[in-house]
């Protein structure tokens, strides 16, 4: 399976909220969690859009970069704030003390 197909499978699992499948893909191919699309959006942004903190935490635990910004300059924190994901935004801010 090529990288593009694997990324698509990861995004599909994120959108379905399939935590075991997300973990399986991230474990099998750790670099996929930071694989951007043509707009430099990464899977972590899709997880944030779902509003599921457990998905966000899982991806970051598997190496997703919470400091990533897309080609428009929007960060993961911007994505959480713009979409009203307050719990995720607060959690990302708490990571600033770690990173």
3-state class (DSSP) for residue 75: strand
CATH number (domain holding residue 28) = 1.25.40.20
Quote the pLDDT of residue 98.
52
CB of 58 closer than 8 Å to CB of 25: no
Which structural domain range is residue 13 located in? 3-95
pLDDT of 65-95, one tens digit each?
A: 999 999 999 999 999 999 999 999 999 999 8
pLDDT confidence band for 96 (50 / 70 / 90): confident
pLDDT of 32-57, one tens digit each?
A: 999 999 999 999 999 999 999 999 99
Number of separate domains in the chain:
1
Separation of alpha carbons 64 and 58, rounded Å: 9
């Amino acid at each position: 399976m090529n990288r593009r197909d694997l990324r698509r499978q990861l995004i599909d699992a994120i959108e379905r909220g399939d935590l075991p499948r997300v973990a399986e893909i991230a474990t099998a191919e750790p670099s996929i969690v930071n694989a951007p699309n043509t707009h430099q959006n990464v899977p972590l942004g899709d997880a944030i859009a779902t509003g599921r903190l457990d998905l966000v935490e899982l991806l970051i635990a598997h190496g997703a970069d919470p400091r990533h910004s897309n080609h428009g300059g929007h960060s993961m924190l911007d994505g959480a704030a713009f979409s009203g994901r307050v719990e995720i935004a607060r959690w990302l801010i708490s990571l600033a003390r770690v990173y």
